[in-house]
Amino acid sequence: MTQRLLSTLTTSAVGGPAGKYVEARTEAEIIDAVRTADAAGEQVLIIGGGSNLLISDDGFPGTVIRIASEGFVVNAEDSCGGVAVVVQAGHNWDALVEHAVLHAWSGIEALSGIPGATGATPVQNVGAYGSDVSQTIAAVRTWDRSRNAVQTFTSSELKFGYRDSILKQTTLVGSPRYVVLTVEFQLPLGRMSAPIRYAELARSLGVEPGKRAYSNDVRREVLRLRASKGMVLDPADRDTFSTGSFFTNPVVPVDVAAGLPDSAPQYPAGADGLVKLSAAWLIDQAGFGKGYGLGEGSASGGRASLSTKHTLAITNR
């Protein structure tokens, strides 16, 4: 148990000291750290890649547990069923995607370049460019802090939604009830990607929406698109010092969307009577354009701003 400045563990480079800091590298260490903190009645903060949270400059008074378990095991691999791979919660997400593409495991290539740890992906059903992890997750093994027992959720039991899951919905004294230990993915075998659902990515690849492309081409183009928007970590680019696309696209009734101008982008929401709107368009139209907040006269004194590359990211300058 050591002292740690939490700004060194977050992609936004923000955060004061931890009251206590534990780095857990195995499943047993994760469970032991959580049980010890809970038994002592301490506040608990679980950190993976630190890409989806902001921490006060005052720090966190309780116990910070960084999930640092790494590696994965292939349980099955054949041309009919594809590959079943069980990944440790602390394993770097993009390293898994890169390995999948190189070894012709299809289905997660459009999620290239997303920072963070694999264990965080099912919590908010991480997604990008028309893809999300609910399409490939088979099961998630967790530690249930309420029952002091391991619990495994199947994909259907996780109740995935748009950037949502039962893991995100269920908390215990302000922190997750379920601590992810491993995530199992079921991935088809093949060099071709899953169908390309996102129009911008389809244009970049030169294919029609709904068609497939080579997975390595999809990964290359996704990384290029993300980098152009400051969504690939770069120590030399302050636009990448953020928590990624912070704002979600609102899902609203059709009659609400009808009140917007014809120029307002609208997308299928997957349910009758609902449409998904573009958060980026709404933010820009509300007067908060790219780079909003820069300059000494701004509310933050230029210390924080919207990204200069797109409006969905709040950046630490």
> In the chain, which residues fall in CATH 3.30.465.10?
72-187
Q: CB 198: neighbour CB atoms within 10 A? A: 18
The pLDDT value recorded for residue 79 is: 82
The pLDDT value recorded for residue 1 is: 58
User: pLDDT band for position 246 (50/70/90)?
Assistant: confident
The pLDDT value recorded for residue 173 is: 85
> In the chain, which residues fall in CATH 3.30.43.10?
6-67
Q: What is the dihedral of CA 232, 233, 236, 239, to 10 degrees?
A: 70
Span 187-200, average pLDDT: 97
Question: Per mean pLDDT, which of 82-96, 264-278, 285-299 is the most reliable?
Answer: 82-96
The neighbouring-strand residues paired with 83 are 77, 187
Of 9, 316, 34, which Cα lies nearest the Cα of 172?
34
First to last CA, the chain: 31
Query: What are the φ and ψ backbone dihedral angles of 33, each rounded to 5 degrees?
Result: -65, -45
> In the chain, which residues fall in CATH 3.90.78.10?
238-316
Of 114, 130, 179, which Cα lies nearest the Cα of 150?
179
String of b and e for 49-88 (b: at least 16 CB within 10 Å)? Answer: bbbbbebeeebbebbbbbbbbbebeeeeeeeeebbbbbbb
The CATH code that applies to domain 6-67 is 3.30.43.10
The pLDDT value recorded for residue 2 is: 65
Task: Write down the H helix ranges in 186-234.
Answer: 199-205, 215-228
Whole-angstrom distance, CA of residue 54 vs CA of residue 46: 12
The neighbouring-strand residues paired with 142 are 151, 180
CATH architecture of 238-316: Alpha-Beta Complex (3.90)
The pLDDT value recorded for residue 213 is: 99
Does the domain made of 72-187 have the CATH classification 3.30.465.10? yes
CA 88, 94, 97, 98 dihedral sign is negative
The pLDDT value recorded for residue 305 is: 94
Whole-angstrom distance, CA of residue 158 vs CA of residue 187: 18
Of 172, 165, 186, which Cα lies nearest the Cα of 37?
172
User: pLDDT band for position 168 (50/70/90)?
Assistant: very high
The pLDDT value recorded for residue 262 is: 94
pLDDT surpassing 80 at residue 296: no
The pLDDT value recorded for residue 300 is: 78
Amino acid at 247: F
Question: What percent of the chain lies above the pLDDT cut of 90?
Answer: 88
